[in-house]
Structure formats: structure tokens, C-alpha cells
Amino acid sequence: MKKWVALSALLLAAMLVASGCGGGDKKESSPSPSASQAAGSSAGEAKAITIDATNFKFDPGEITVKQGDEVSITLKNSQGNHALKIEGYDKEVKGNATVKFVADKAGEFKIVCSIFCGKGHEDMVSKLIVQ
Ligand SMILES: [Cu+2]
């Protein structure tokens, strides 16, 4: 029993180390909107966003970028089989792939799942806000 506890603690530590230097594509851990505003809030930045899809939800449910930003959206299918479509931008990405485009139109664009994935399919919505 003691061995098992030690082993799982070791595993946990290893996982923490791995995630610490592994997930370089995630940019959500930067809670400093004031810092970017202070830097001049320039448009045309590269924004890499990962949307996590499960049954039946997109996370995050809202993405905000600036007009002119180079947006790269990666859809990660954590559960089920989903695809993502940005209405108004005519962009689509299937699970575990990335779509890149320039957010040249301002406004709010509905993001929907474009694969019928089951009973909660209609609930799979997110939103792209281009300011
Ligand atoms: Cu769906």
C-alpha cells in the first residue's frame, strides 16, 4: 500500500513537470489584459487559441480578438467527435487540427459544431468577438 502511494506521488510529480514545460500552445494562462493595453494594444498580433470540445460544450464559450489579428484556432476533441465552424468567417476545423485566418471583420460571430454529435449537438456553441 505504501509503495502505491509513493508511486502515485512520483507519477503526479512527473506529470506536473511534464505539463509545466509541455503545453506551449496554451496561451490562456496570461491574466494580464492591462499589461497588453499598456503596451499599446496593437492589432495584427498572432493569437493562438485552443478550444476544448467535450459532449456537449466548447470551452471557452467566448473568444475575443482584435481586428487584424492573426488568429489560429486549434480544436481539441477531449471527448466525442466534433468540428467547429465560425459562421460569418466561413472557417471550419475538424477535431485536433488548427485553422488560421486573419480576423479582418469586426463583430460577433457564432461558433457552432458542424458534426452531428448527439443529443447535445445544438448546445455546442461558442462565440468569436472581433473588436
Ligand atoms: Cu456536434
Question: pLDDT tens across 96-109, in order?
Answer: 999 999 999 999 99
DSSP 21: H
Distance 122 CA to ligand 1 centre (A): 7
Q: Which grid coordinates belong to 17?
A: 513537470
Every domain of the chain and the residues it spans:
42-131
Distance 27 CA to ligand 1 centre (A): 25
Is omega for the bond preceding 60 within 30 degrees of 0, making it cis? Answer: yes
Given this model, what pLDDT does residue 3 score? 72
Q: What is the block-wise mean pLDDT of the chain (131 residues), using blocks of 10 residues?
A: 66 60 48 46 87 98 97 97 97 96 98 96 97 97
Distance 44 CA to ligand 1 centre (A): 31
Given this model, what pLDDT does residue 37 score? 44
SS (H, E, C) 100-120: EEECCCCEEEEEEECCCCCCC
Q: In terms of CATH, what superfamily is 42-131?
A: Cupredoxins -  blue copper proteins (2.60.40.420)
